[in-house]
A and B are shown apart, each in its own frame.
Chain A
Amino acid sequence: MPQQEILAQLAQIVNEIAGVPVADITPEKTFLDDLDVDSLSMVEIATAAEDKWGIRIPDDDLKELKTVGDAVNYIEKAGVAA
């Protein structure tokens, strides 16, 4: 799946869970400071992403996903590996 497509679908998930406007969800933004997405919402986003793409995002990996771009790259790699 192209990165642009992953970003669009991830943005939809983030919007639904954390109420962040889709237009604000761009690769360079940090979840915590820029988008005000807290750690529990990150877990909800991770589990939604796991269901959507059939991947696994362990807690230790999740803590390293600081920016939207980090998450897109992670999902892309996890998807390729799967």
Chain B
Amino acid sequence: MRTPQTVAHSRIAAIGEHRPAATLSNDELAARGVDTNDEWIRTRTGIQRRHVAGPDETVVSMGIEAAAKALANAGLGGHDIDLVVLATCTIARPIPGGSARIATGIGAAGVGAFDVNAACGGFCYALSVASDAIRVGNAQRAVVVGSEKLTDFLDWPDRGTSILFGDGAAAVVVERADEPGIGPVAWGSDGDQYDSVWIPEDDWAIRMDGPAVFRWATTQLAPVARRACELAGVELSDLAAFVPHQANVRIIDGLVRGLKLPDTVAVARDIATTGNTSSASVPLALASLINAGSVSSGDLALLLAFGAGLTYAGQVVRVP
């Protein structure tokens, strides 16, 4: 028996995003019968609008779109990929997962493929697992996708949730590297708070105890962010960007305050026009920073994803 030859490092080679064409403004949301208005939503969440998938768009189709763009941006094709990992918590049915269909859809039929459900924490988990698979030699090059159709699980009159979420997907290509490009992961969970964000057993829609989640996120996650930096041997002042899960701009602001993040660090606030897209939110937010020119290739960015479970994971990466 033998084991594969390991390599020291991995990196994100490219990123791709898919934002559904249709958007839903706060006023349009109110017109759906939600007891709220634009000012109420903006001041409580920082959200101005969100993208909503069309009836023909699915977790799989959006994931294929995003993955194909990431491959194109890397100058690669499906035949260059030998692992697909999909982070999602809103696939329509538990079986089958979406990763194998995404692999087929991007021309990588037959490769290793599996789904990760760590809810809004999912992307950073999936990225870590894919990175490790490459470093130990079980894969040469992976596509990691975060794709969510949360609007399928929203009870519109429930303004504690319906104002927050949107749909979308983003993907990265992960490959071997000569220099460190994906840092060690700081991850963990809190099963005692399983019911603070959940779909109850006799229910179909996402329900949330907003204040409980807010307290958890703003008091427990700054140490996780610091730990991810320590594991990577990086100071907060070395970072070009902080890309937290886009759950609520007030959580983002609370994290920035709690970390005493230097002004030189660009903070992703993609939530304003995207809402909370769960496992797609971190890569979508990273893509928006790249598109805006707020970060450059090779810059250090701290990713931090967290959500239902409760679960959390974060790592420092080099921007593709």
A: residues with CB less than 8 A from B are: 38-40, 42-44, 46-47, 59, 62-63
In angstroms, Cα B43 to Cα A38, docked, is: 10
CB-based nearest A residue for B257:
A44
A43 touches B214 (CB 8 A): yes
Please give, as numbers and ranges, the residues of chain B lying within 8 Å of A63 by CB-CB distance. Answer: 211
Contacts of A43 in B (CB 8 A): 211, 214-215, 218
A63 to B44, CA, bound (A): 18
Checking B43, B210, B218 against A44 with a beta-carbon cut-off of 8 angstroms, the contacting residue is B218
Interface residues, chain B, with chain A CB atoms under 8 Å away: 43-44, 209-212, 214-215, 218-219, 248, 250, 254
Q: How many A-B residue pairs have CB under 8 A?
A: 27
Is B211 in contact with A42, judged by CB distance below 8 angstroms?
yes
Q: Using Cβ atoms and an 8 Å threshold, which residues of chain B touch A47?
A: 215, 218-219
Q: What is the minimal beta-carbon distance from A11 to any residue of chain B, in angstroms?
A: 21
- In the complex, the answer to whether B219 meets A39 with C-beta atoms within 8 Å is no
A40, B219: Cβ atoms closer than 8 Å: no
A59 B218 Cβ-Cβ under 8 A: no
Sort A-B residue pairs by CB-CB distance and give the 6 closest, nearest first. Answer: A43-B215, A39-B211, A43-B211, A40-B214, A43-B214, A59-B212
Min distance, Cβ A19 to any Cβ of chain B, angstroms:
11
Q: Which of A44, A46, A47, A63 has the most C-beta atoms of chain B within 10 angstroms of its own C-beta?
A: A44
User: Are B212's CB and A44's CB within 8 A?
Assistant: no
B215 in contact with A59 (CB, 8 Å): yes
| Given pairs A38-B44, A44-B218, A46-B215, 13 additional interface contacts (CB within 8 A) | A39-B210, A40-B210, A40-B214, A43-B215, A43-B218, A44-B254, A47-B218, A47-B219, A59-B209, A59-B211, A59-B215, A62-B211, A63-B211
